[in-house]
Amino acid sequence: MIVDPAHPLWTKISRLPKVELHRHLEGSLRLETLFEIARTYDLDLPSDDPETLRPYVQVMKGDSPDFIAYLEKFKWLRRFYVSPELIARIVSECIADAAADNVKYLELRFNPVALSRLRGFALEQVVLWVAEAAERAQRDHNIKVRLILQIGRDESIATARRIAEIAVAAHSNGVVGLDLAGDELAYPATPFTEIFRWAQKKGLHITIHAGEVGPAANVREAVERIGAERIGHGIRAVEDPALVSLLAEQGITLEMCPTSNLHTGAIATLSDYPLRHYLEQDVRVTINTDDPGISNTSLTDEYMLAVQHMGIELQMLHQTILHAAAGAFLPESERHELITWFEEVLVPL
């Protein structure tokens, strides 16, 4: 989906201070960096030619929407984490790109298993490398960054428990939450319930990918059984009006990602996207990029799509930004400070 930079609102939206709650590190790599790494390290890839390699790591114009094909791109992207220095570089570039899009608060999630598997790095070391790089980058680029560790639905319970333990131990290094992601059609969330409940008791916040391509029941399970405070995507919740009411009543934040949802086939057209409907039902909805490298998008692009294709007005965009600030996985005092700052700066824009 191509946005229109000539739209009268483009400049204003690009200048908006933003919050992003749902961005995957593994889906945020710059293509030029991938090509450089491939050449330098002679990686076993289908091609070292940039244009030939591009379709393996990025959705191309004309590609058919396909959830599994979208997930397959991560298998290629995970071949680039070949050293601590490169992991730090990728983190830094991801945060720099967000800051350049005027994102002021970013929660960046990653799967430590995915970053460690190629070279056999220790999971604890990977988390420390990401945390240290994020700390440096947020200072360099005037952006506040917190981290979320992701558990894949296809992981063993033992591995999932280990990731949760590492996340709790790394709380002081900026890790604020735990996420469950992956193929929700093939792998249920139920086996991980106790792990997430334990992590929550230890002070971590919980977000769960649900209702993206799976049914509304997955969203209800994530909230009622697993204790999710936020839901990644949550598109299919719209099919259950009682669930939509529950989300509004409990203040559950939906992390919605329009372009990604088009690319995975979770939605057929943006005109069908339930973002405005959720806003009208007082559900706390936010707009995010998900995987800006794979989908070739930015948060400004996502906001423009909402304006051009979903009937979202500027004041509604302001509301989604405030929703995101209110849904931030921060201590209450820091969250209040973030909300107050955005309330003040958004008014005159």
> Is 224 a catalytic site residue?
no
Q: How many residues belong to the chain?
A: 349
Identify the active-site residue in 107, 184, 212, 255: 212
DSSP string of 103-170?
A: EEEEEEEE-HHHHHTTTT--HHHHHHHHHHHHHHHHHHHT-EEEEEEEEETTS-HHHHHHHHHHHHHT
Sorted by sequence, the CB contacts under 8 Å of residue 301 that are 6+ apart come out as 3, 259, 289
3-state secondary structure of 233: strand
Supply the angle between the helices 67-77 and 50-57 in degrees, to the nearest 10: 130
CB 338 within 8 Å of CB 143: no
CB 180 within 8 Å of CB 153: yes
Of residues 316, 231, 313, 301, the one with CA closest to residue 260: 301
CB 107 within 8 Å of CB 147: yes
Q: Compute the Cα dihedral for 165, 153, 189, 220 and give only its sign.
A: positive
Catalytic site positions: 212
